[in-house]
Amino acid sequence: MKWPEPSPGQIYFVGAGPGDPGLITLKGAHYLQGADVVLYDDLLDQRLLGLAPSTCQKIYVGKRGGRQSPSQEEINQLLIQHALRDRVVVRLKGGDPFVFGRGGEEAMALKDEGIAFEIVSGVTAAAGVPAYAGIPLTHRGKAAAAVLVTAQEDPTRNTPNIDWEKLAQMDCTLVIFMGSRKLAQLSATLKDHGRAADTPVALIEWGTWPHQRTVVTTLEHTADAAAREDIQSPTLIVVGEVVHLRQQLNWFEKKPLFGRRVLITRSREQAGDLQVLLEAQGAQVVPLPLLQLKAPEDSTELDRSIAELASFKWVVFTSPNSVDFFFSRLRHLGRDARAFGSAAVAALGLATAAGLRSRGLYPDLIPSEQSQEGLVKAFAELPVENSKILLPTSSIGRALLAAHLEKRGAIVHRITAYQNLPPTPEEIKLPPALTENRLDLAIFASPSSVDHFRALLGPESTQKILADTIIACIGPTTAQAIQALGLQTHIQPQDSSIPALIRAICAYFGEQKP
């Protein structure tokens, strides 16, 4: 589906959903992609801001209790100022803009100034959060109605906005926003006005996020349960018989990796797909980008090899990255897969082979053992004497295959297709889960990520952290790098691919007792 491009000078109120970035609407994502300015709230997954253009101005205007934050009037004025500058402005709000998000107040301020706006509804926390906890708001025989209510009343009113006596006596599901600091008062008020003390209550902390936590109790014991479990904001409170259905419908917290903190060490460019797959299985991902992949500073040798590409008997790709950077340079020079001519192509690993196929090249050789040792064995059965063989690799790629082929009389051109650089300590911030040793799993997808991890943290900290952490490696070469540190690889898929790695991780933790 397509929507019109956003109009300059107009404000788009976009609901971001309650946390899971996948809950933003298609229309909301479309407007974000065309934004000149985004004013965004607290409690948003920062990856949503990545949908906006790199030139977009991103302004944080979030409000959290106990923190200094801009006033509502200041936010209104920012919206007006940017709209009057004829810019496309997206006001990105958590949940739905018109459900306890003060979106109505901001829209009224724009209306008074004659500024056009559009509301793009989002998944409200009232619906999304209970759903991720396995709790339907309505259910035949249990609740025919649901009432949304805030525990934060307008402080300027002498009389309460909410008639708690009537609410307590209604046969409905109550969904209470912003009430984690008033649990004792809320439960006492509802009981005093007639709600049964044994009414089930669910306290859902960080709903729809990978670190979601749900505590089920009763109205009588709500405050004690919250104190015992140290429930903090943001927490949504659900009161009613539908809470019992969680026993049958709790799907999100039953995922194989739910609650597991998983360290991924890929580059920022590569981490996205892996993070999405892990989160789809319930993992709480802790990114630590240990690789910086860049084109060579001098591409003269690479360009020369591409110009002579058809003269090679074999072109050997040892990683998906080598495919990506090689073909990027090929396109830059105005060439495509036809430049290979009669050259045969070898691919190390299923992901490398898939990258070649997506560009119109079907590998002539894929070793069954997905390592350079496997390539050596595969080429041992082929004549290579006096054959020109091109090896586009990383700046720190292993030389095992090149040495073997040269020993057999091949003319090997080993060129740098991309640089594999470590981050400096100044460029990277170590996540608390790592420094506090609260990881369940560490994933390494290349030997260089292992080397960079050790260089960044130092030998002593590396041993201390990884010795107490489950380690997953994508293939045998990476596992050898872990073994060289005196550590054990616990998870290694048969096929060196990200999907196979995810399946192996899920199978491993599925066998572990909680």
> What is the pLDDT at residue 388?
95
In whole angstroms, what is the distance from residue 272 CA to residue 267 CA? 9
Over the stretch 131-157, which tens digit does the pLDDT of each residue have? 999 999 999 999 999 999 998 765 445
Question: b/e per residue, 371-398, with b = 16+ CB within 10 A?
Answer: bbbbbbebbeeeebeebbbbbbbbeebe
Over the stretch 277-306, which tens digit does the pLDDT of each residue have? 999 999 999 999 888 888 999 999 999 999
Helix (H, G, I), strand (E, B) or coil at 278: helix
Residue 319 has pLDDT above 50, yes or no: yes
Q: Residue 279 corresponds to which tokens in the numbers above?
A: 């989160």
Amino acid occupying residue 353: A
> What is the pLDDT at residue 425?
67
In whole angstroms, what is the distance from residue 457 CA to residue 442 CA? 14
Over the stretch 15-29, which tens digit does the pLDDT of each residue have? 999 999 999 999 999
Catalytic positions: 41, 63
Average pLDDT of every residue of the chain: 91
Q: Which residue has the higher pLDDT, 115 or 401?
A: 115
Mean pLDDT of 167-175: 93
Over the stretch 59-92, which tens digit does the pLDDT of each residue have? 999 876 656 778 999 999 999 999 999 999 999 9
> What is the pLDDT at residue 155?
45
With bands split at pLDDT 50, 70 and 90, how would you rate the model's confidence at 4? confident
Output the CA torsion sign for 494, 495, 496, 500: negative
Q: Residue 240 corresponds to which tokens in the numbers above?
A: 């009613």
> What is the pLDDT at residue 506?
95
In whole angstroms, what is the distance from residue 243 CA to residue 294 CA? 52
Mean pLDDT of 316-329: 93
| Percentage of the chain exceeding pLDDT 70 | 96
Task: Set out the domains of the chain in order of their start, with CATH numbers.
Answer: 11-123 (3.40.1010.10), 127-253 (3.30.950.10), 261-291+424-510 (3.40.50.10090), 295-421 (3.40.50.10090)
| Own/partner long-range contacts of 457-464 (Cβ < 8 Å, ≥24 apart) | 457/430, 463/487, 464/437
Residue 514 has pLDDT above 60, yes or no: no
Q: Do 244 and 218 form a contact (C-beta atoms < 8 A)?
A: no
Length of the chain: 514
Question: Which distant-in-sequence residues (6+ apart) come within 8 Å of 15 by Cβ?
Answer: 24, 25, 28, 93, 94, 95, 96, 97, 101, 120, 121, 122, 123, 124
Residue 397 has pLDDT above 80, yes or no: no
Mean pLDDT of 212-240: 96
With bands split at pLDDT 50, 70 and 90, how would you rate the model's confidence at 422? confident
What is the DSSP code (8-state) at residue 241? Answer: G
> What is the pLDDT at residue 430?
85
Residue 512 has pLDDT above 70, yes or no: no
Alpha helix (H) ranges present in 213-254? 222-229, 246-249
What is the DSSP code (8-state) at residue 337? Answer: G
> What is the pLDDT at residue 497?
83
> What is the pLDDT at residue 64?
67
Q: Do 439 and 286 form a contact (C-beta atoms < 8 A)?
A: yes
Question: b/e per residue, 39-63, with b = 16+ CB within 10 A?
Answer: bbbebbbeebbebbeeebeeeebbe
Over the stretch 107-123, which tens digit does the pLDDT of each residue have? 999 999 999 999 999 99
In whole angstroms, what is the distance from residue 468 CA to residue 326 CA? 39
In whole angstroms, what is the distance from residue 261 CA to residue 131 CA? 23
